[in-house]
Structures are given as C-alpha cells and as structure tokens.
Amino acid sequence: LQLKGDSSAALETLRALPGKDLSLAQRLRVAALFDELGETARAAEVLAEGEQSNATYAGRAAYLARLEQKDALRALYAELATPINLGSKVDDDRRFLLAQIAECLDDNEAALIWYRAITASTRGEPARLRIAVLLDRQSRLDDAISELREIQASHSDNGEWLRDAYLLEAEILLRNQRAEHALDAYRRGLTVFEDDPALLYGRALCHERLDQVEAALDDLKRLLSVDPDNPDILNSYGCTLADRTDRLDEARGYIEQALVLNPDSAAIMDSMGWVLHRQGHHDQALPYLETAWSLQKDAEVAAHLGEVLWALGRRAEAESVWREGEVLDADNRVLKRS
C-alpha cells in the first residue's frame, strides 16, 4: 500500500496491527513504516511497547530527538542509565547510545564519560572523533586537536577513521577561525591519503577562504579529472570561477552542466542565478535565486538574492532578504560583502 502511494490505507493497516503480538524485529519494522508515513511519535510509542533491546532504545532515542521531545528523551536516558538497567547489559553499544542521548540533551560532560568508557574499536573509533568534537564545544581546542593527532598517529587498519581525523581537525580549526592551520591539516592528510576526494574538496574550499583562488581551482580540477560528471564538484568549480574571477562564460558552462545533472539542487540554482547576475542578466537570474531561496533558507542564497533585487531597483525587498540572512548566519562571509 505504501509503495502504491496509498498512505492513508497503509496507516490504517498499521494501526490495526496488535502490538503485543509482534516480535522484536516486526516492531522495529512497524515503527520504521510509521516514521516513513509521517507518524514519528507513533513510531516511538511502538518501540516503547514490549521487550527492549539496544535497537529499540536507539530507535526510540532517534525518533524522540527528531521530534525534539527533550523531556521524553531525558526520561529514556534515566531509564537506560539506572543501575538495574545497566547491570550486566552494559556494553559498548549501550554506552555509545547513552553518550549520543547525552549529547542531544546538551550534557557534554556525561557524553564524554560514556564515550571514554567504550573499549572495543568498533564503537571506540567513532567515539574518539566525538570526544574531539565535545572538547571543542567546551572551548578546549588544544585538547581536541591533541585527541585527533593521536588518532592520526595510530596504527589502526581503519583508513576511513584515520582520514576522518584529518577532516575533523580541519573542520574544528576552521570553526575557530584558524584557516591556515586547517590548510596544514588538509596537506598532512593528503600526504597519507593521496588524492582523497574529501580531503581535496575540503582543501579547495579552504584555499578559497584564504583567497588562494588558483590553488582552489587546481584542487577542484583534479577532482573533476577523476569524476567529471559530479554535479557538486562542477558547481563548486563554476561558482568559484563566477565569484572570484572574470571567467564568467566558462563558469556558466560548468554550472549549466551541473544543473542538467541535478536540476533540483538549491545550491546549483543559486550558482546559476549568481553567474547570470554577474553577466548582467539580472531578470534571468532572479527566478533561479527565488527558487533556491524557497528550497533552502541559506545566508549565502540570501546574499545573492538581495544583490539581484537591489540591481533591479527593488531595494526594500533586498534589505528584507538580507535581514533574514543575518538571522540565519550573521557571520556569513558572502552576506557581509553584500
């Protein structure tokens, strides 16, 4: 019924199922279907009925977090953390779940305790990345970087985890306005993971942020040489050309290719509107930017839409959009230039 598109009949059928007679696996599936059909609260209720496992607890936590039901999430955390429920059932999956719930409740100290209690690598490796994030949130930047450097120096066979430690170091440094140090993290990562797409893409964005435009374009061009039909890379290359050079015809060509490959992308529509504006085609640019803004309320889109509205003489509307953008991200670099 769901696959046929008959959501109301699918919901009616699900609601008729006797919850007490369902197996654990069936309850997990029923809850997932309720969630897919827009009844996330009912999904959480289904999982709360009957036998509990790490899977049902994790599902309940995920649904409650999405619903932003903090009181119910606190109650679930208290239920999981009571000595009688911990007992012999404490394993790394349970510790990881408790840490995640603590994060959702903004209890970073408790989250750190649970993450640090994890022993096996399966959960321990992602836990160490989360520890670095939490240390940064506590304004302990040096400790966060130290944690990540220890990961990078380890002899783990998990290459993705090691690579992610470089990515996260750069991300944290950028968040702390240390772009030059972030660039060094990308460079160190690329000496170990040569031509890794995520590291190359991150370094390209970092180069652009430091006004090293040609270096940014070089990294993006390397990515395109391997994946020429990637709409996101095509868009990034074209947008960088449009925003930071006078090679507007070339920029438009790349953005048009990206738009053909992903016509519903707000980011690519934003780029298309921006390059048209820079070419002086303000009337043609406006529909793309209005659509991008309707799809994605983003400070950079607000900056571009405001610029075009201003160029068309609609100054009150431009100022209104810019104000909305400032509410979203007052520190956005593109918005500040508007």
Task: Give me the pLDDT at residue 27, please.
Answer: 92
What phi, psi does 332 have (nearest 5°)? -60, 130
Q: Residue holding tokens 């040096």?
A: 142
Write the pLDDT tens digit of every residue in 136-185. 999 999 999 999 999 999 989 999 999 999 999 999 999 999 999 999 99
Q: What is the DSSP letter of 246?
A: S
Distance CA 280, CA 77 (A): 57
Task: Give me the pLDDT at residue 86, please.
Answer: 59
Distance CA 18, CA 27 (A): 10
Write the pLDDT tens digit of every residue in 208-222. 999 999 999 999 999
- For the chain, give the number of residues: 338
pTM above 0.75, yes or no: yes
